[in-house]
Structure 1
C-alpha cells in the first residue's frame, strides 16, 4: 500500500515538475520534493524485496 501511495504522488509530482519546466517556471522546491519521493519509493521497494 505504501509503494502504491508513493508511486502515485511521485507520478503526480513528476507531471507538475514537467509542466513547470515546459511553462518556463522551473523551481527548486518541486524538484527537491520529487527527489525525496523517488528516494522514498526506492527505499520502500527495496525493503519490500527483502521480505
Structure 2
C-alpha cells in the first residue's frame, strides 16, 4: 500500500513540475514577443525621426 501512495505522490509531483515548466515557457515566450514588438516600434520611430531630420 505504501508503494502505491509513493507512486501516486511521484506522479502528482511530476505533473506539477511539468505544468510549472509549461507556464514558465509561456511567460518567457510572451515576454520575448513583447520585447520584439517594442524593438520594432523603437526602430520605426528612429527611422521616422531620422527621415524628419534629413
How does the TM-score come out when normalised to structure 1? 0.49
Question: Which structure: larger Rg?
Answer: 2
Higher relative contact order (CA 8 A, sep 6+): 1
Between Structure 1 and Structure 2, which shows a larger proportion of helix residues?
A: 2
How does the TM-score come out when normalised to structure 2? 0.46
